Structure 1
Amino acid sequence: MKSTSKRVLLILAISLIVVGAVMGALWGTIFDNILKSQLELTNDSTTFKLWKETPIPMYIEFYMYNVTNSEEVRNNKAKPILIELGPYVFSEEHSKTNITWNKNQSITFNQVRRWHYLPDKSIGSLDDKITNLNTMSLVVASMSHQFPESMIKFLNIFLNKEGSLFNTKTVRELLFEGYDDKVIYWLKRLEVFTHIHIPFDKFGWFYMRNNSWSYDGVFNMFTGTGQVEHLGKMHSWNYYTRVPYYDGHCADVNGTAGELWPPNETGNEVTMFVSDLCRSITLNYEEEQSVFGVVGRKFIGRRSVVANATDNADNKCFTRGKIYPSGVFDVSGCKFGAPAYMSFPNFYLADPFYLDNVVGLKPEKDKHEFQITLEPRTGIPLSVSGRLQLNLHLQPVKGITMYESVPDVFMPMLWFTERAAVTPDLADEVKLLLIVPTAGQGIFFGLLGLGVFLVLVHVLMTLRGNWKAGEANAQLVVTS
């Protein structure tokens, strides 16, 4: 009976040693394969469920610039004095629709974004009135140089009658609701003569975007199937692998779509394609950052993003042939020809040229930095603060009376922060996920140790049995 128990003990010990040693050595690889299968975008992966209907709370905060001395600016008698109003805060929800799985391990889809106003988180009201440049009048004036003299005379008469240099509208009109504009009304009817195409019937910075599946365009990105390092990376946008708004490498559609990132990211920079800008932006690693106890790698937008071709030669193909001091980049081709330029809020990291031409701005790193923090092993975004400012270039326009005496200034119109962060509950799930490899190895090597211990027990039991047998034999000899 004792012999059978010892054999069972030995078999158990050897089994524990084999399982513990093999699984302990291979657990890291096994876990990585399991993790990859869940990170890859497939019909039944965890990532797909989270990506299709983003569960992380997201917000967008708008800050509007109100010009308090429009009459003086109109006659170039003073710098624009700006008062920043807001934030006007909206919750933001993302969902994906029109999903098509492709044979090249990519997925094609449209994105629906929904915004809901949150008065309790906002400062001010959507009925606040904002005075700033009349965007549509400026668009027409800025495009007039491409027309013959006779057409410029017509546009001058047209703008004097229907346009204005400044206008005053409510925040709700300027953002999502839009407002009727006589310039739009007549341009849509005179398109055959002016060849100026206006694809909307009202003007508002986010007009027609709320709950639209088509506005953001058609995305095609890699699913990471078989090559998880390509997860979330863009293949094309609106069927372009190279957008028509820029030249050279600047036209390339590259980087991630912004929501999914490849795991095991250890590089010093990450790139994301921003459809609102029709271009990619590269962020640089700055430091480690803890978000609810999860340590991530923080990437930020540095001056190189908004540098001109002199300060950053790689940006030459973004300039569209125009060289301005570092601090803004041209998105006019992406914005229906409007003289639109993006910068960091309050001209953060910009050349003093921009701040010197207006009054009321105060750039600060903590408030105006563009940043994203990624958990490196999984690529999960822990915290995002995407901050950008929209500016219109106001300058004298020959032949257009309304603009002949205006100053040359990049006028801030609004800036926004798109903010998202994991919740404490989600952070706990990420922490649990991250300790699985170490915990698994600990368990399996623990089994290995237990197996070794049981082998020692078996050896001791065998030796003890031998000792007792020896003693018994010795007593028999003595008795004999």
Structure 2
Amino acid sequence: FEYAHETPKRNKRKNYLTITTGAPTKRSYLCVQSILYFLLLLNSVIAIIMWATNWYQLIIYKVQVLSNNSLNVELWKNPTWQPLLSIYIFNYTNVDRILEYSEKPNVKEIGPYVFREKANKVNVTFYQNGTVSYQVRRNYTFLPEKTRGSLNDIIYTPNVVLLSAAQMIKEKPWFVRKTLGALISATKVSAFNNFTVNDFIMGPEDWFSKIGLNLKRALGEDVPSKFGLLTKRMGLSGNFTMNTGKYNTDLVGQFEYIDGRPGLGKWEDEECDK
């Protein structure tokens, strides 16, 4: 029996980190070259943008600012977009019982009666101070294919002319109130009217409506030739004066005057009335 002693072998550590020195490789040259080309291209693009800024501003000016020779002036005068107007009417179905027994009104919604609106700006005048004045002419075309019902449908509605006249004379002298009251009593004007839908929308030809409109004119009211749902919208509008953005593009479309007034004349506060 012989005992032999062996010296344990050392485990050699593997070197995972290798540092090499020497001249740059072809791949590193290509990488640096690509970065330089990219920076050169970027600088060129920035230079072109800065050079073309004046052209960019000129194009924006031509498109946004209104003038006789601006790119969008004809589209602004004669827009191709023609919106549809859908009218729904509440028909009172128990008028007799309302008048005789003071029954609660029973209403039924009918419609829609659909019209196509065409609006054009006319009497356009440009001024040196950067404003333009114009009027809007609106026309409506009935579209039976999109309408539920007919313009000849009979409806019952409150007598708006009578109600307006009664409201209007509340603060008038007593003899005006007495005169209108006597006229209503003598003619037996009803609190409700039965019209065709066409008369309700375009304005009826009944004599009381004509008298009511003439009375409002005599009292200084600005009223249309007929009393209908669309009569104030049809035809020529008032005169509008609008900023063209000639001196400040942020003001394009801001109204300066309406019928020669700087405000609407509806609110006492100047800021609200603009």
Name the aligned partner's letter for residue 231 of structure 2.
Y
Structure 1 residues 423-449: Cα deviation after superposition (integer angstroms, max 9, x where no partner): xxxxxxxxxxxxxxxxxxxxxxxxxxx
Distance (whole Å) between structure 1 residues aligned to residue 42 and residue 164 of structure 2: 76
Question: Is the 1:219–1:234 contact (alpha carbons within 8 Å) kept by the matching residues of 2?
Answer: yes
Please tell me whether residue 62 in structure 1 is matched to residue 87 in structure 2: yes
Structure 1 residues 166-192: Cα deviation after superposition (integer angstroms, max 9, x where no partner): 00111111112x212322444567689
Please tell me whether residue 23 in structure 1 is matched to residue 44 in structure 2: no
Give the Å deviation of 1:225.
Answer: 1.5
Structure 1 residues 121-174: Cα deviation after superposition (integer angstroms, max 9, x where no partner): 111111112211111111221123223333322211211233320001111111
Give the Å deviation of 1:46.
Answer: 2.3
Structure 1 residues 354-389: Cα deviation after superposition (integer angstroms, max 9, x where no partner): xxxxxxxxxxxxxxxxxxxxxxxxxxxxxxxxxxxx
User: Which structure has the bigger radius of gyration?
Assistant: 2
Distance (whole Å) between structure 1 residues aligned to residue 135 and residue 219 of structure 2: 29
Give the Å deviation of 1:89.
Answer: 1.0
Distance (whole Å) between structure 2 residues aligned to residue 22 and residue 191 of structure 1: 68
Please tell me whether residue 173 in structure 1 is matched to residue 199 in structure 2: yes
Give the Å deviation of 1:75.
Answer: 5.8
Name the aligned partner's letter for residue 243 of structure 2.
F
**Unaligned runs of at least 5 residues, structure 1:** 1-12, 254-480
Distance (whole Å) between structure 1 residues aligned to residue 178 and residue 46 of structure 2: 86
Distance (whole Å) between structure 2 residues aligned to residue 201 and residue 24 of structure 1: 58
Distance (whole Å) between structure 2 residues aligned to residue 239 and residue 227 of structure 1: 22
Give the Å deviation of 1:43.
Answer: 1.4
Residue of structure 2 equivalent to 1:91: 116
Mapping of residues 280-359 of structure 1, within 5 Å: none
Superposition RMSD in Å? 3.0
Residue of structure 2 equivalent to 1:206: 230
Q: Which of 130, 154, 163 is equivalent to 1:138?
A: 163
Distance (whole Å) between structure 2 residues aligned to residue 100 and residue 72 of structure 1: 57
User: TM-score, with normalisation over the residues of structure 2?
Assistant: 0.74
Question: Is the 2:265–2:273 contact (alpha carbons within 8 Å) kept by the matching residues of 1?
Answer: no
Give the Å deviation of 1:107.
Answer: 0.3
Which structure has more relative contact order (CA 8 Å, sep 6+)? It is 1
SS in 2 for 1:249: coil
Distance (whole Å) between structure 1 residues aligned to residue 125 and residue 103 of structure 2: 55
Distance (whole Å) between structure 2 residues aligned to residue 37 and residue 189 of structure 1: 48
Change (3 A) 1:203 1:21: closer
Give the Å deviation of 1:250.
Answer: 6.2
Name the aligned partner's letter for residue 243 of structure 1.
L
SS in 1 for 2:56: helix
**Unaligned runs of at least 5 residues, structure 2:** 1-37
Question: Is the 1:187–1:196 contact (alpha carbons within 8 Å) kept by the matching residues of 2?
Answer: no
SS in 1 for 2:72: helix
Name the aligned partner's letter for residue 130 of structure 2.
Q
Taking only the aligned residue pairs, the percentage that are identical comes to: 25
Residue of structure 2 equivalent to 1:47: 72
Q: Which of 141, 151, 176 is equivalent to 1:126?
A: 151
Structure 1 residues 42-79: Cα deviation after superposition (integer angstroms, max 9, x where no partner): 11222212110011232111111111122344467333
Please tell me whether residue 240 in structure 1 is matched to residue 261 in structure 2: yes
Residue of structure 1 equivalent to 2:30: none
What is the count of residue pairs matched by the alignment? 236
SS in 2 for 1:175: helix
Structure 1 residues 321-369: Cα deviation after superposition (integer angstroms, max 9, x where no partner): xxxxxxxxxxxxxxxxxxxxxxxxxxxxxxxxxxxxxxxxxxxxxxxxx
Residue of structure 1 equivalent to 2:241: 220
Change (3 A) 1:25 1:44: same
Give the Å deviation of 1:21.
Answer: 3.2
Distance (whole Å) between structure 1 residues aligned to residue 49 and residue 211 of structure 2: 74
Distance (whole Å) between structure 2 residues aligned to residue 34 and residue 132 of structure 1: 54
Residue of structure 1 equivalent to 2:7: none
Distance (whole Å) between structure 2 residues aligned to residue 204 and residue 108 of structure 1: 28
Q: Which of 99, 111, 114 is equivalent to 2:136?
A: 111
Name the aligned partner's letter for residue 173 of structure 1.
D
Name the aligned partner's letter for residue 63 of structure 2.
Q
